Amino acid sequence: MKIVTVIGARPQFIKAAVVSGKLCRVGKEILVHTGQHYDRNMSDIFFEELGLTPPDYHLGVGAGSHARQTADIMTGTEEILLKEKPDFALVYGDTNSTLAAALAASKLLIPIIHIEAGLRSFNRAMPEEQNRILTDHISSILFCPTDTAVANLAEENIKSNVYQVGDVMCDAVLCYADQVRHMDSACFKEKLACLFPWKGDLSRWYLATVHRAENTGDICQIGTVLEALEELDAPVIFPVHPRIRAYVERLHKECGYRNLCFVEPLGYLEMLFFISGSIKVITDSGGLQKEAFILQKNVVTLRKQTEWVETLAGNHNILCSIRKEDIIHAIYDTDITLEFDQNVFGDGNAAERICKVLCTLSDGKRKFFE
Ligand code: UD1
């Protein structure tokens, strides 16, 4: 079996790192990097840290409007698919790279494997929600991380070739968090000392990130989040996504925040270290919400909905609007009512199960476009 895998954004590098290593048992994988994320800290660092093989093709599409980015990825992927003639195209998640590659494959009648299928926020204004729905509806094999995702697909009448295998991101967290625990913590401590130059208490911090389009469109929203974080009772480590870099620089110049440690986007291992040691995580990222939950940290999510509804049980994840008082209240005044449900995202063997299913397909020569 020959599979062309298309990835392009930060979370996809992490997911591919756990799946790609195992795919060689199923067949030959050709890896395509679309270049949607291209800064070193948003891309190369993940290949190096997680041992992901360098891509066979790099489309170098870079930044652009949604249509431009999607179109460039489609044409680039189409060329590769025509040349490689794979049995399947494999995509992850909900980014523009996911949808564009899926569309290119679908038109060439190449069956699509979608990993992380069935997630829904039920907010069609989100580009990611549009990408998810469209990709699921043209996919042939759908690997869901949770029972909720399977139920969401059933509601949309997608019922065949749907497999609940657990979450590949959970595989990654469990595997690499263990690695981080066994690493010499000196390198992380050094980083902490640089982050907290006032040499205060280096043992307590919050971790915060913001990058979603709905929260980053105007500088006032980002300013509100930063104002709330500035008032917290411990420093806040804030890796700055390139999407908001210019706004953060401007606000910092005007307001001179003293409680916020702005850093370049962190590598995955550093991120796991900083989540594990944090008091709480404040974010609008889908992946980070879940990583925190798996590492048993409470989260405040700066959104109206979450696809990962399982994290809401027991108030481990609180959804919060972008209002200063609401953010501070959500961080301080939430009663946790339940223990963390350890297994809700799987047992760390999702990639293994995916490969088992794919092995049965390669034996069976099924037809997907009839
Ligand atoms: C994308 C995904 C989102 C995912 C996130 C992970 C879509 C629609 N959204 O959002 O689902 O959670 O990635 O981070 O695909 N930029 C750089 N350097 C980079 C990458 C981006 O400067 O390495 C800038 C570009 O100017 C771009 C902006 O950041 O305009 C936003 O990048 P984009 O590719 O639109 O998506 P993300 O916001 O990262």
Q: For residue 21, what are its two tokens?
A: 């290593």
The closest residue, in CA terms, to atom 17 on ligand 1 is 242
CA-to-CA distance for 298 and 252, rounded, in angstroms?
27
Encoded amino acid at 141, one letter: I
Q: What is the structure's pLDDT at 199?
A: 53
Q: Model confidence over 153-205: pLDDT tens digits? A: 999 999 999 999 999 999 999 999 988 888 767 777 777 777 765 556 678 89
What is the pLDDT at residue 342? 76
Q: What is the pLDDT of residue 363?
A: 62
Q: How far is CA 327 from the centre of its chain?
A: 23
Q: Are 57 and 75 in contact (CB under 8 A)?
A: no
Q: How far is the CA of 96 from the centre of ligand 1 (A)?
A: 9
Please tell me the distance between residue 242's alpha carbon and the centre of ligand 1 in angstroms: 8
Which tokens belong to 327? 């953010």
Tell me, in angstroms, the distance from the centre of ligand 1 to residue 352's CA.
29
Sole residue written with tokens 């170098």: 60
pLDDT value of residue 112: 98
Ligand 1 atom nearest residue 93's Cα: 11
Alpha carbon separation from 28 to 7, 55, 299 (Å, rounded):
16, 13, 39
> What's the CA gap between 3 and 344, in Å, rounded?
29
Q: Which two tokens stand for residue 68?
A: 């431009």
- Any idea which residue has 């971790």 for tokens? 207
CA–CA dist 187, 200 (Å, integer): 18
| pLDDT under 70: residue ranges of the chain | 184, 196-201, 362-366
* pLDDT for the residue 368: 82
pLDDT reported for residue 191: 73
Contact 92, 15 (CB under 8 A): yes
> What residue's CA is closest to ligand 1, atom 11?
95
Q: Whose CA is closest to atom 34 on ligand 1?
A: 36
Nearest atom (ligand 1) to Cα of 131: 8
Q: State the CB neighbour count (10 A cutoff) for residue 334.
A: 16
* Catalytic position from the list 33, 37, 114, 211: 211
What distance in angstroms lies between residue 93's CA and the mean position of ligand 1's atoms?
14
Predicted local confidence at residue 163, as pLDDT: 98
Whether 211 is catalytic is yes
Q: Whose CA is nearest to atom 15 of ligand 1?
A: 95
Q: What is the 3-state secondary structure (H, E, C) of the chain?
A: CEEEEEECCHHHHHHHHHHHHHHCCCCEEEEEECCCCCCHHHCHHHHHHHCCCCCCEECCCCCCCHHHHHHHHHHHHHHHHHHHCCCEEEEECCCHHHHHHHHHHHHCCCCEEEECCCCCCCCCCCHHHHHHHHHHHHCCEEEECCHHHHHHHHHCCCCCCEEECCCHHHHHHHHHHHHHHHCCCHHHHHHHHHHCCCCCCCCCCEEEECCCHHHHCCHHHHHHHHHHHHCCCCCEEEECCHHHHHHHHHHHHHHCCCCEEEECCCCHHHHHHHHHCCCCEEECCHHHHHHHHHCCCCEEECCCCCCCHHHHHHHCEEECCCCHHHHHHHHHCCCCCCCCCCCCCCCCCHHHHHHHHHHHHHHHCCCCCC
**Distance between CA atoms of 18 and 7, rounded to whole angstroms?**
13
Per-residue model confidence (pLDDT) at position 267:
93
Structure confidence at residue 367 (pLDDT): 76
Express each pLDDT in 273-293 by its tens digit.
999 999 999 999 999 999 999
Contact 259, 229 (CB under 8 A): yes
Which of 44, 98, 169, 211 for a ligand 1 pocket mutation test, highest count of atoms within 8 Å of Cβ? 211
Closest approach atom of ligand 1 to CA 97: 15
pTM of the model: 0.94
**C-beta separation of 237 from 263 below 8 A:** yes
Domains for the chain: give ranges and CATH numbers.
2-167+347-369 (3.40.50.2000), 173-332 (3.40.50.2000)
